Structure formats: structure tokens, C-alpha cells
């Protein structure tokens, strides 16, 4: 039986992510675990994340999840979600600057306190449904229409401009990386587990994906 491990480091939507994966893949074993051996043995691995990146990275480093992520992301399908995506970047400017796991060289930026578009001030955090436009043809976009809407909750974003690994983009005052991809790694800023049909399709694609 295929196993999907959701890494539990105390900072993610663990229950809703597990339920969503179980819903789209009832024949798959889904584990929410902090056990390194179980994570190493899993066929697919998910790194979730919510809250402040400084707190997330503190726990990731304290529990040596950063080392584990570098290991397991080399050779199997790996999915980062929300702050779990930001943690894979090189650095976030949140809290004066926080180093990430550095699997992707992108910087994570603050939307700003005065985010304006067409004369209208936009609320930060960016919270709600937004269109995602696919930058590359990728198995994770299977059966997801161009411009489909996903659910976002974030005050910081990975840059889209000059991002060689961008897989999907969205716009909220600025262009932002809604998804990045390289080899067997895919990561999204939005919450697929909260994104209705499109999000469930993306999770199903992840379970079905070989990483190639």
C-alpha cells in the first residue's frame, strides 16, 4: 500500500490535510507523524505550515526536520504547503530575516502595509480565493483549468519575478509565486485542503504523481 507522510512539527493544518488526502485517495495510507523513520519509508511526503516563518523554522531546526526534508525530497514526490512552501526558499524577510531550508533560491517578501492596486488599498494578509495561472505544463496541474481559483491566507509571498522554478503565479497587488517546482518537488502558497474541487484535484494528482 502506498504511504503518504505528513510531517508533524507542530506547525501545520495537519488534520485537514490528512482528511483531504484520505478523501481523494481512500486506498492510500496517510500518516501524520514526527517519526523520522516513518517519513523516510513513505512513498510521498508533505510539509505543511501555518503561522510565522520564524516559529516554523525554529521548530524545523530544533527537530532536525530541515535535514530530513533535504534527504527525503531527493528521491520521491514531495509537496510543500503554504508556510511549508516558504520554508523551502532561501530566506524570508519576515521578522527582520529568517533563513529557510534553501531548496529553492527565491526570496520571500512582505506584501507591505500600503498595498494598493487601481487606487484601492488591499488588505494584508491576503485572505481568500484567487486565480492561479500555470507557468509550466506539469502533472500536478492535471485536470485543473488555467485560472482556477485556490484559497490563500498569507502576508508574505515568494517572488515571481526572475523565479526560474515558478510553476504557477497569482496576483495580489504584486505578481507572486503561487507554486514552484523542480524535479520531484512541488510546493504551493495556497491551501489545497481548503480549495474545494481544484485543491482536491491537486492532492489527487500528488498521490498519483511519480515525481517525474
58 belongs to the catalytic site:
no
Q: Which of 44, 82, 126, 154 is catalytic?
A: 82
138 belongs to the catalytic site:
no
Q: Are 132 and 176 in contact (CB under 8 A)?
A: no
CA-based end-to-end distance of the chain: 20
82 belongs to the catalytic site:
yes
Q: Which of 56, 94, 154, 193 is catalytic?
A: 193
DSSP H helices, 42-149, are: 53-62, 65-72, 83-86
Q: Are 112 and 97 in contact (CB under 8 A)?
A: no
Q: Which of 44, 126, 154, 191 is catalytic?
A: 191
* Beta strands in the chain, from DSSP E residues, in sequence order: 3-7, 29-33, 44-47, 78-81, 91-92, 98-99, 107-110, 116-117, 120-121, 126-131, 133-134, 149-154, 156-158, 166-172, 174-182, 185-188
Measure the CA–CA gap between 52 and 172, rounded to whole angstroms: 20
The DSSP annotation for 166-196 comes to: EEEEEEESEEEEEEEEETTEEEESS-GGGSH
Could you give the residue numbers annotated as active site? Answer: 82, 191, 193
Amino acid at each position: 500500500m502506498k504511504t503518504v507522510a505528513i510531517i508533524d512539527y507542530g506547525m501545520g493544518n495537519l488534520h485537514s490535510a490528512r482528511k483531504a488526502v484520505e478523501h481523494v485517495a481512500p486506498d492510500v495510507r496517510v500518516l501524520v507523524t514526527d517519526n523520522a523513520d516513518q517519513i523516510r519509508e513513505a512513498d510521498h511526503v508533505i510539509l505543511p505550515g501555518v503561522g510565522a516563518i520564524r516559529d516554523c523554522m525554529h521548530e524545523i531546526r530544533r527537530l532536525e526536520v530541515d535535514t530530513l526534508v533535504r534527504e527525503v525530497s531527493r528521491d520521491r514526490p514531495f509537496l510543500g504547503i503554504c508556510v511549508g512552501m516558504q520554508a523551502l526558499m532561501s530566506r524570508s524577510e519576515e521578522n527582520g530575516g529568517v533563513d529557510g531550508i534553501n531548496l529553492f533560491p527565491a526570496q520571500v517578501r512582505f506584501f507591505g502595509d500600503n498595498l494598493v492596486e487601481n487606487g484601492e488599498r488591499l488588505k494584508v494578509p491576503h485572505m481568500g480565493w484567487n486565480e492561479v495561472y500555470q507557468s509550466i505544463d506539469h502533472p500536478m496541474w492535471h485536470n485543473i483549468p488555467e485560472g482556477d481559483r485556490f484559497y490563500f491566507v498569507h502576508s508574505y509571498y515568494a517572488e515571481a519575478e526572475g523565479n526560474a522554478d515558478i510553476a504557477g503565479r497569482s496576483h495580489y497587488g504584486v505578481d507572486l509565486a503561487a507554486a514552484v517546482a523542480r524535479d520531484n518537488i512541488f510546493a504551493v502558497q495556497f491551501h489545497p485542503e481548503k480549495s474545494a474541487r481544484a485543491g482536491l484535484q491537486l492532492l489527487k494528482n500528488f498521490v498519483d504523481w511519480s515525481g517525474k
